[in-house]
Structures are given as C-alpha cells and as structure tokens.
Structure 1
Amino acid sequence: MISSDPVADYTPTSERHMPVYETGTDTSLANVDHMIRYAYVAPFVVGKRVLDISCGTGYGTQFIAQQGALEVVGVDVDQSAVNFASKFHAHPNATFIQSDAHYVRQLEDASFDVIVSFETIEHLPNPRKFVVELRRLLKPDGQLFLSCPNDYRVAPWISEFHLHKFRFPEFRELVLSTFGEAVFLGQHYSVSSHIVKPISPALKGVRFESYQNPLPKDFFEREYLENLSAIENADGYLAIVNVDESQLQNQTSISQSAFQFLMRLLTETLPQSDQVNQLNQELQQTRLELDRVNQLAAAAQTRIQAMESSKFWKLRATWFQLKRKLGLPTQE
C-alpha cells in the first residue's frame, strides 16, 4: 500500500540519489556518476524483463522502462523509498516491491532477461549470498550488470554506509566464482573540456534527454586523453555477464552543470583555505618566537647556575654571612 504522503514519510540519506527536481539542490555531480550506468545498459533492455535490485528512489527503474523494456521490477529494502518510487517514478511498465536483496522471495527462479544492480554490493552484510541470489533470478542466458565503487581511492565521498570495501581482484573473484565468466570495465571520474556545435532548439534538453536521445554517432570526432588509470585504480568497477565483449563500447557522461558546481565549491573553499594558511603561518611564527624565548631562558638559567657555583659567589655568600653576624648593614 502506497503512503498518502511519500515525501513526508521518506527521509533520504547521502546514499539515496534523488534528482534535482525532487530535492531542490544541485545533484548534477551525482547525476554524472549514477546515470551513466543506466545509460550504459539502455541498449540491452529493449523488449526485455529487467530487475533493478536496490533501486532506491526509482529514477533508474523508470529510466529503464523509458528505454523500451517490456517490464521492469524495482526492488529496495526501504519501504519508504519504494513508496516514493511508486509515486514519483511510476511507469506503465514498472513495478516496485520491498525486499531484502539477499533473497527476494516474491520473485521466481530464472525470471529475468537482464538484472542491474548498481552500487549495492558494498552495503550488504553478505555480498556472496547476494551474488548467488542474482544468479538464481537470472535466466541461464540472461545478462547481468553489477557495479561496485573502489573505496580505496582518494575521494571525499567514501560513504559511512558501506559495510565492505573491494579492491578490483576481490570484486572480480566474487563475480567469477559465481558466474564463471564476465567482462569487467572501469568507471573513471575525470575533468573534460568539449568543443561542440550548437544544438538545434528543437532538441533542447528535458530530464535525462541526453540518455533518452543519445548523441549522434561520432559526435566527438577527435579526442585528447591525457591520462586514465588501469582498472585496479578506477573509481568504480562494472561486471557484465553474458554479453559479448564486441557489443561493449566506451561511454562518457557529460555535465557542464557538474563542473560549474565544483567551481562554486572551489570558489567558496579557496578563501577559507587562504585564511587557514595565514593562521597556520601565524601559529608557526608564534611557535618560533616561543622557542627563541625558551632558549634565552635556558641560557640565563645556565649562567645563573654557573655563577652560583663559582668561587667568587661562594666568597660573596660567606662575606654577607659575616656582616650579618657582626651586625653590619648588608645589601644583597
């Protein structure tokens, strides 16, 4: 049963991606990360029965349905997320159900042509049991698209919600030990610059249109690649089962808004960074001055000790004692 107010009942976390038109905040950076994976599977879902397991708020499930899937089932453990998805990402070919991803009792064996599960496995208590469940639900000749972040990379957004971290060899072994064969791709975040022809006003963008209406073939005729790491150091991994490697292409996700978002962050952060640097310099100077004062104090103490132990100082002390005994005035 769908809640009468899914928005009021649903409290998103940083792990639940929600597009900007629902949150009112800039999610362009996350869109670049999340939507490229759904865009990648678009050619493989046409006319197919598809499972989107750990679908979150359902934006990806809806997107798959929009690409021509015969049926899409979105599964998530959070009932409030399922309610939200059912209201805001509804589609005639999409349904949403609540279930633990380790075992979806509502679904029959070998019942899906395509299964997608993006950035799920790292959240689960038992990743191997989850992968075995995917094998149960997938048809013998079905296709699986399974992604996982590389939490060993240097990044500010390593999630507190991740229960497991996978290096590429560990992720690869987990998939191959269950499915036998797979093709592995790396997802890399990068900074890019594009020179493009103006787009006709008739093609002006709507929500996710760049994925619903792919760029023309050879849209980028020439590319310049400065550097791209090996898959072991990618920002994420994508395992693909039962798809011939010849069918797989490199793909990019483009967002000028995401770049502008990063520039705004830098613009706001750099002045603060300058202030912190100035304070650190002042602190370092204060420490140097304190060290100099301590050195002077130590030197003075050493001189006093040397004077007190000298013959003159001892004779002086004896002289003053004698004057006191004789009742003579003393000025020490």
Structure 2
Amino acid sequence: MSHVPQTAGNSHADSHLRGMAVCSAGMLIIPLMDAVAKWLSINEGVSPGQVTLARFATQALLALPFAIAAVGVFGLWPKRPLLNIVRGAMLAVSSLMFFLSVKYMPLADAIAVFFVEPLILTLLSVVFLRETVGWRRIAAVLFGFAGALIVIQPSFALLGPVSLLPLGTATLFASYLVLNRAAGTEDDAMVMQVTAGIGGSLVILAAVGVGTAAGIENMRFSFDFPPATWGLLLLMGAFGMVGHHLILLGFRMAPASLLAPFQYLEIISAAIAGLVLFGDFPSLSKWIGIAMIIGAGLYVFWRERRVAGG
C-alpha cells in the first residue's frame, strides 16, 4: 500500500531535481550572452541598439521552427497576443538598457545591481497586485538597496547616471514578471519565445531606425561588419534563447519558490567571463555589496515561502 505514494513522491522529487539542474544551466548561460554583447560593443564597434535587435531577432528566428514543431503553424498565434507582445517590448527595452550599461560597466557589477529585481518585484506586488508585505521584507528590500548603492558608487563616480541603467533594467524586468503572472502558462514555451522575440524586435527596430537617422552612436545600425562579427551576433542570440528557454522549462518542472535563489548563479559566470575577457573582477567592497543584495533577495524568497506555507 505504501509503494504508490512513495513512487509518486520520488517522481515529484525527480521533477524538482531536474528543474533545479535545468534552471541552473540556464542561469549560468545567460551571462555568456551579456559577455558577448559587451565584447561586440567595445571590441567590434556594434552599437548596443543593434546588439539588442540581433538578440531578439535571433531569438524569434531560432525559436520559430521549434514552436512550429510543438504546436503547428496555426498554434503560433498566442492566446493573449497583445499581452505577449507588450511583454516582449518591455523585455526588449530592459535588455537595451542593460546592454548599454555593460558597454561601460564591469559585467559582474551590472548583473549584481540588476539583482535588486526581486526586491523591486516585492514592492510592485504591493502596489499593483495588492499583496501584503510585512516590515521584515520591507527591511530586507532596504538592506538590498543599500548593497546596490555600495556596488554602484564607484561606477557612479566614474560614469555618472549610466551606472543607474541596471536599476532601470531591474525595474522593467520586474514589471515584465508581473505581466508574466497575468499571461499564465496557456501558451507553449516556444510560442512565448517567438512572440516575445517579435514584439521586442519591432520595438528595438523602431528605436534603432530613429537612432540611426538622428546619428545617435549607441543606437545606430550598420551592415559594415566582417562575417565573424555577424557570427558573434548570432551566437549571442543563441545564448539568450537557450538560456531563457532552459529557465522557463526549469520553472515548469519545479516551483518558483524553490528555483528563485538559483538566479544568483549568474554572478559566478559573470565574474569569470568578466575576468577572462575583460580583466574585470569585483573589489572587496563590491563583493560586500553583492553579498548584501543576495542576502536580502534570499531572505525575501524564504519569507514569502514561509508566509505562503503558513
């Protein structure tokens, strides 16, 4: 009699383990996309605007055949098209801001500041989702923002407002996640990738067109690059599609409360890529700030899980 529930329990645990493994792989891959984007901007002369356009256009093109294989041509139209296109547009602007920041900031610094996103999501959930958040989580949010200021401060002294771009990225991405809750899981994962890729591409294409006409260096588009540079643009887009798809699959295998802390694995590959490719490595004070951000984020995850469970 006890064999059936034990087997079901083992199957449940196996799914969670697979989800953790898949999500971890995705989190480690995403900073490679950011590293290639930074390389393209500072070494190949590709504008952050064109880098962002390539990232979303490649995502849509690579995801399209997988989406057709999964749901057929007629299944490509999402259940909530406008919401999914808006999601893609928000993600695109968020990515543009981040690619602008990594052009000038060390990769690990930009990603560390971006990690205030769960804290911003906590605040947005209070404002827009009417969720109740106690003083402990509010204190954790403030503690995490203090850590972000420690990471930002040297860059702000050197670069000025540019160093605040990862905060803008985090705010937009948190808003994107709020929309994700509204979108639900009605659509296939690859259909959502295609829709987000198309929505993001259209928004960035318009921005790049205006930027090129206005002579804005960071938004110009050019065809005058060697084949190797175009290859790197495709590689960057592939990293983005694979990384985000693995994360999405992981969250479908295991609960978000279990997987959310794994996002901090991005710091590991970002620090390694920054050191190997650009000679950047966070100073001791920045590691202290990073630890404060991560600690605050982990506490918020733990507290939300405890409140939800009890």
TM-score, normalised relative to structure 2: 0.25
RCO higher in 1 or 2 (8 Å CA, sep ≥ 6)?
2
- Between Structure 1 and Structure 2, the one with more helix by share is 2
- Between Structure 1 and Structure 2, the one with more strand by share is 1
